[in-house]
Each structure stands twice: as structure tokens, then as C-alpha cells.
Amino acid sequence: MLKKRKEISSKFKGKNNFKISTKLAEALIIFLALTAVVFIISPSIVPQRVDLELGQPSSMDIIAPRTIIDRVSTEELQQKAVEAVPTIWELSTSVKLNTEKDLDTLVKAIGDAKKTVDEEERILYLQENLPERFSFFRVEQLNWLLELSSDDLKKDVKNLSEVLADIYDRGVKEEDLEQVRVQGSDELYDKLASSSLIFTWQEAFENILQVNVKANLEATEKERETAKNKVEAVMILKKQNIIRTGQIVTQHHLLLLEDLGMLDSNLDWSAITSSVALVLLLFGVLALYIRRHFTHILEKPSLLLAIALIIISALLLGRVFLTVAPPVMVPVAAAALILAVLFDEHLALVLGLILSILAGVLTNFDVQAFLTYLITTATAVFGADLIHQRTELMKKGIWVGLVATISMAIMSVMNSGLSWVLLVQSLWGLILGVVTGILALGTLPFLETGFNILTPLKLVELANPNHPLMKRLLLEAPGTYQHSMMVANLAEGAAEAIGADTLLIRAGGFFHDVGKMVKPLYFTENQSQWDNPHDGLDPKISANIIISHVKEGLDLAREYSLPTEITEFIATHHGNMRAGHFYNLAKEQNPEEELNVEEFTYPGPLPKSKEASILMLADCTEAAVRSMPEPTHENISQMVQRLVQARMSTGQFADSSLSLSEIKQVEENLVKRLTSMYHKRVQYRFTPEQLAEEK
């Protein structure tokens, strides 16, 4: 309905006479609003700059403007976690197996040499057939091995193999190799004490002993990386103190300030660019939505200015509130409620979402606050079109507070369980509700008046018999007052039947005939049965008096600052119909004179809205039926039908959006209501049709 009222106002006002075009004004408002919003949210993105020197005392307390990771502390914890992970060692079983195999080969080769090779060729045979690891044997040592009996050889090799196997089972690391050689050599000495070649075997042990335990660097690195990743980052929270006045500045302090972007004396263009881009994106979405669904706003720059001021004011108040209150206190819900009452619920929801995002920037996207903005916006907007009394704004604010309290409590329990903090947050939710109601209640009258926006609240106040202009009408033209009340009721019922704006048409019905109070006795509803000031007047003069009540009504409307949407009813309720009674009377009195029809014709304009068209029909039918001598249902139906057809045939609805089916519905509703509410009036000496035209 509000959207429709704005369209009515736009149509009735016609072209703008501003020196600057609407397009230019629109662009200027958008540019200024965008600039203002960027300046408001930029301090949350671009931090303050400080000048500190390493090793010198700080000249101020510095608080973190946003939450960041403390890299130094986090890296220290990560390093400790990495160092706590031991090296992963791998034991190679192949070293032990290969050693045993080579020792078996040694025994076999010596045995074969003794059996199959000539004595002078045996040394050469062994040098060629022994494994590479036995190349350290000197010739005399090989001769000694050949001189050993087969049993002694096997016994000595077995003891050597056992010592090696035992050592390999324990593991040999590179860094322990020399120590193990010494210890193993001693163990071997104990085992081979009776052997004649004990020193040869010790030398063999020391030469063939190998490292069989190696670090698995890949697995170790993986474990250390896992341990590092498990370390929780140390956070510097928003509003946490970084350094106090007089505290010595350390490298750690400077690194924190650098991460916060507080040391660079140059502007952070990347942050500024990101804020501009965000605002441009949001404003672009809003512009597309308004252009598609609310074109009347673009036709009237003052409405666009009102929206811009509401957005800017909400963000400015939010920045002020954030200095003393938690993030949820940014008045997003209040702005959404005001927008819903002034414009439309759907537009308010879209603007509420955009404001929530911008408020999120102010609070560094506090998740709980952001969700609260969305929930309270929906609460504020839902049912706003049903608010018809200003006291209901406070009730709506209380609902917002209750919903905010409940939602904040649920989120707090989910995050940290039950605690005394929950009680404090709940109190802030209630305060938010009170603030929402107060802001809406306090600012709406100024916005309605300053930007000439007609709201349901204003319409209810206008459609009140205690309005100063209606009080004057009651005192100065009581018959017209009663007629206006009847017309308002008739029109309201007909409007309801076709889904038109009942509040608007009721207020329009109240004021449509206020011009008659200038010369009230010249209108039949204010005359006594025996006194008619038109008697003896030239019909042209009488017609001019009757017709002039439209202009005089518009003058009174300006005097009492009635909204444009209401003045349309005053200007158009007769369209360009003719004052037929006086026109016919003039023709009777001067049959030879050629009359100027325009002198007997209402100046218009024609009604443009459905509501103004309905009021035209309600006005003429009420006057005609009231004067009928026999107002039966059949007579009323015929009269209403004739009056409707007369206005259709003269093109009174040519500029109106009222359809033929809606006209039929209006006609039927008027017949029904007139039949139930009519009462006899004093019979006039002219026909009801002429009376309706005279009015």
C-alpha cells in the first residue's frame, strides 16, 4: 500500500521543476551516501597509525582494533611442539641377513679352497671369491684361516656371527658406530678367548660392522608437521591491550603492530579499496532492486535521500554505541522498522540485510552480532504494515528486544554454556529493544514531515474527526461534514472489496469536500428547506461558486499542510464533469445565448489512482441516493448504475488504473452499502443526477 501511495504522489505531482534533473540528483545522493558510508566503516578496516621506537617506553596505551594471530607467540609454541617430537629411527633387517650370508660364504670359500684348489692357488682363489667386505684380509691372515680346522673355523665364525647379530638387534646408529666397535670387540674377545686367531677376528669384526639404524627423515618431518599444526594459534583479541603507557617497546610489540597495520604511516590503499568495493557492491544490489520494484523512489529524489540518511544515521549511531556497548547494539533493527513503516516491508528486509553486512564490518564480523542483526531485522519488519498507532512502535521494539535476548542466549549457550555472562547479554538484548522503539518513535514524525512521506500512522491521524480542519468543517459546514463521513465509509468498503488502500481512501474521503466550508450555504447539504442562496443568482455565478470549492479545498489543503496523496482526492473528485443543473438552468433562462460549456465544467484533473476513482463514485452516488424520494434497493441500484455509466462515458477513468471488473465490484459494493445505510432527505426541486453534478 505504501508503494502505491508513492506512485499516486508521483503521478499527481507530474514533472519536477527542479533546476537539476532527477537523474543528476539521484546520482549525487548515491555518491554522497556511498562516500559517507565508506568513511564510517573505514576506521574498522583501516587502523590508526602509531609511532613507537624499539627499546623506548610507549607514549600511549594501544588496543587492538581487531582480532589477529600473535605470530611470535604462536611460532614459539609450534617450535616447542616440533622439538618435542623425537627422531623416528628405522632398523634395517637386511644388514644382519647380508652379514650372516657373507659369513657363510666365507666358511664355504675356505672349505672349497682346501678341497679343490692347489695349495699355491688358494690365496688367489679366496681373494677372487670372498665377498667385497672381506677384502681387508691380508695374505698372512688368509693363510691363517686356511690353516684352521674346519670345526674351529665354523666355531669362530659362529661366535662372530652371534656377537654381530646381538649388536644388530640392538641397533647401530652412525653416531654410535665407533663406540659399538669397541664394545663389540670386547664382547668378541670374551667369546674367542681360546681362539688362535682372536685378533684377526676382532679386526674382521671392526671392518664388517655396519650401521643398521637410520633416521626416517620423511616420517619424522611429517610427525613434526602434525605436532606443529595441532598447536592452537595464540590470538590477540579485539580491544585487547597490546602495550601500556610507559612499557618498553619490544620487537614482539612492533611485530604485532605491524600485523595490525598500525606502523605504516602511509594510507592502506588496499583496505580502503576493499571497503569502497564492498559498499559499491551493496549499493549496486540495492539500486537494481529499487529500479526493478520501487521505481517511484527514483522518480522522487527526496525518497532516495531519506533512505540514504537512515542508512548513514544507523551506521553513525552504531559507531557511537560501539564505544560503550557490545556489537549487538548497532541499531539495524530500528532502521529496518523505520524503513518498513515509511516504504515497504520487502524493501526494509533488503536494506536490513545490507545494513547488517555494513554493521558487520563495524564489528569485525562478530558472528553473534551479525546473526542478531538478521533475526531482529526480520522481527522488526514482519507485520510493520499493520502498525497504525505510534504506541505500537514501542510494542514492536519490545518484541525485537525479546527476540534479541532469546537468540543471544541460545548462541551464548551453544558457544560457552550457561554463565553469568548470559544474564548480561540478555540485558543488552532488552536494551536493544527499548532503543529500537525509541528511535522509531522519535524519528518517524520528522521523516514523514521532512520528506513528505505518507505512512499508515499519518493516515490514521488524518482520518480523525479531531483533526483541526475536520473540526472547522463540522462547525462551519455540518452537512458537508456528515456527507464526508458517509462518503469515507462508502469508499472504504468499496476499496476493501478490490484490495485498494483503505486507510488512504478513508482519509481522502474526510477531506475531499473541505472547500465547501468557504461558502457552505451554497451547497444543498448545508441549506435549510426554505433557504437557497442560489435563488436569484445568475446560473453562471452559481456554477462558478459550486465549481470553485475544488480550488478553495486545495488552498485549505496547502494551509493545513495536507499530503499530496490527500490533495489528489480534493482535486479530482469531480474530474472534468459538468455542473449540469446550472448549465441546464442557464439554457432555460437564455435559450438564445450560446453558452461557454467550460464555464460550467470542473477543471479536473481526472483521477489517476484507483482510490481517487472510487471516491469519485462514492461521492456522487451518496449525494444522489440521499436525495431520492423512494430509495428502494432497485431504485438505488439503477441510480448507481446510471452515475457510474455517466462517468465512464465521459472518460473520467481514462487516466485511472481501475479496471472494468473492479468498477463492477465497486458498483455492487456501493449498492449494497447504500441500501443498508440510506435515509430520506428533503426532496429537491432538481433531479438526483443534477444534484450529483452540482456537488
Q: What is the pLDDT of residues 595-634, one digit of tens each?
A: 788 888 898 899 999 999 999 999 999 999 988 888 889 9
Find the range with the poorest average confidence among 59-73, 418-432, 672-686: 672-686
- Are residues 468 and 345 both part of a single domain? no
**pLDDT, position 159:** 87
**pLDDT, position 14:** 45
Give me the helices (H) in 560-599, please: 564-572, 580-589
Domain boundary among 409, 427, 453: 453
400 assigned to some structural domain: yes
- Are residues 315 and 167 both part of a single domain? no
**pLDDT, position 692:** 54
**pLDDT, position 423:** 67
**pLDDT, position 629:** 84
> Is residue 415 over pLDDT 80?
no
Task: Find out whether 634 and 671 touch, Cβ atoms under 8 Å.
Answer: no
> Is residue 120 over pLDDT 60?
yes
pLDDT level of residue 2 (50, 70, 90 thresholds): very low
CA distance 563 to 561: 6
**pLDDT, position 627:** 85
Domains: count for the chain: 3
> Is residue 16 over pLDDT 50?
no
CA distance 145 to 203: 13
Phi, psi at 681, each rounded to 5°: -115, 170
Higher pLDDT, 15 or 507: 507
Buried b (16+ CB within 10 A) or exposed e, 351-388: bbbbbbbbbbbbbeebebbbbbbbbbbbbbbeebeebe
- Are residues 427 and 287 both part of a single domain? yes
- Determine the average pLDDT of the residues in 401-419: 80
Phi-psi group of 184: left, alpha or beta (phi > 0 → left; psi -120 to 50 → alpha; rest → beta):
alpha
Q: Report the candidate in 601, 602, 603, 605 with the shortest Cα–Cα distance to residue 586.
A: 601
- Are residues 108 and 180 both part of a single domain? yes
Higher pLDDT, 49 or 2: 49
User: Radius of gyration (Cα) for the chain, nearest Å?
Assistant: 50
* Residues above pLDDT 90, as percent of the chain: 38
Domain boundary among 174, 200, 215: 215
Full residue range of the structural domain in which residue 144 is found: 89-215
510-559 pLDDT tens trace: 999 999 999 999 888 888 766 788 877 888 888 899 999 999 999 999 99
Find the range with the poorest average confidence among 162-166, 310-314, 417-421, 522-526: 417-421
Four-CA torsion 308, 310, 316, 317, nearest 10 degrees: 180
- Are residues 435 and 574 both part of a single domain? no
**pLDDT, position 137:** 87
249 assigned to some structural domain: no
> Is residue 688 over pLDDT 80?
no
- Are residues 306 and 380 both part of a single domain? yes
**pLDDT, position 684:** 44
- Are residues 392 and 467 both part of a single domain? no
234 assigned to some structural domain: no
> Is residue 15 over pLDDT 50?
no
CA distance 248 to 258: 17
- Are residues 438 and 535 both part of a single domain? no
447 assigned to some structural domain: yes
Q: What is the mean pLDDT of the chain?
A: 85
- Are residues 493 and 550 both part of a single domain? yes
- Are residues 282 and 149 both part of a single domain? no
**pLDDT, position 157:** 87
Give me the helices (H) in 417-467, please: 420-450, 456-462
pLDDT level of residue 459 (50, 70, 90 thresholds): very high
Find the range with the poorest average confidence among 262-271, 296-305, 341-350, 677-686: 677-686
CA distance 148 to 157: 12
pLDDT level of residue 687 (50, 70, 90 thresholds): low
576-593 pLDDT tens trace: 998 877 878 888 888 777
Q: Rounded to an integer, what is the distance from CA 44 to the centroid of its chain? A: 18
- Are residues 589 and 662 both part of a single domain? yes
- Determine the average pLDDT of the residues in 268-276: 74
Phi, psi at 164, each rounded to 5°: -65, -45
- Are residues 513 and 604 both part of a single domain? yes
304 assigned to some structural domain: yes
Four-CA torsion 72, 73, 79, 83, nearest 10 degrees: 150
pLDDT level of residue 73 (50, 70, 90 thresholds): confident
> Is residue 476 over pLDDT 70?
yes
Four-CA torsion 496, 498, 499, 502, nearest 10 degrees: -40
312 assigned to some structural domain: yes
Q: Rounded to an integer, what is the distance from CA 295 to the centroid of its chain? A: 22
Q: Report the candidate in 617, 611, 635, 612 with the shortest Cα–Cα distance to residue 625.
A: 635
Give this prediction's pTM: 0.67
426 assigned to some structural domain: yes
Four-CA torsion 460, 466, 469, 470, nearest 10 degrees: 90
**pLDDT, position 315:** 95
Task: Find out whether 18 and 521 touch, Cβ atoms under 8 Å.
Answer: no
130 assigned to some structural domain: yes
**CATH code: domain of residue 679:** 1.10.3210
Residue 190 contacts by C-beta under 8 Å, 6 or more apart in sequence?
none
pLDDT level of residue 18 (50, 70, 90 thresholds): very low
pLDDT level of residue 681 (50, 70, 90 thresholds): very low
Domain boundary among 424, 453, 482: 453
141-154 pLDDT tens trace: 888 888 888 888 88
CA distance 113 to 105: 12
